[in-house]
Amino acid sequence: MALFNLSDLRAGLARDQRLIGIDPGSKTIGIALSDVRLILASPWGSLKRGKLRDNAAEIAALARKEGAGGLVVGLPLSMDGTVGPAAQAARDWTLALSEAAGLPAALFDERLSSTAVNRFLVEEMDLSRAKRAAAVDKLAATWMLQAALDASSR
């Protein structure tokens, strides 16, 4: 499947279909879900990053269970907005994931999502490093998906 821009991805969804937000880390994939009105993102959880086909099967099963019609995957652009090696790897992975899961996908800038989530967890929640590590992936996916929903609702 081809990558879509976010507006086209939203426009292609059937009524009451959700979006799945994905923060693809090197060890863990953070997952978030939108509501059916595409207004609010909520944390779902995380998956251990493994073989693409296994992760795609898990994400496709989640999409069927939750009524999701598309993926919004975080794109780690460089701080100056350019596409570096990490962003190109994320783009390639997203294309392969979309094809394997049978779901359309869009990329969305995730710069500073993990930083923002970590800052929140330290300053507002006073969580230890170990507890932050367990929460940061799914919360970064939620932060990114919420930003994507907000940006594409205009």
Instruction: Check which CATH number belongs to the domain holding 7 and give it.
Output: 3.30.420.140
Provide the domain count of the chain: 1
> What's residue 52's pLDDT?
96
Query: What count of other Cβ atoms lies within 10 Å of the Cβ of residue 120?
Result: 15
Tell me whether strands 68-75 and 18-24 are parallel, antiparallel or unpaired: parallel
pTM, full prediction: 0.87
Question: What is the arithmetic mean of pLDDT over 67-94?
Answer: 91
| Burial category of 63 from C-beta neighbours within 10 Å (exposed 0-12, middle 13-18, buried 19 and up) | buried
Per-residue pLDDT reduced to its tens digit, 25-63: 889 999 999 999 999 999 999 999 999 999 999 999 999
> What's residue 128's pLDDT?
61
> What's residue 46's pLDDT?
93
> What's residue 51's pLDDT?
97
How far apart are the C-alpha atoms of 149 and 145, rounded to whole Å?
6
Tokens of 34: 């939108």
Q: Which domain holds residue 142?
A: 3-152
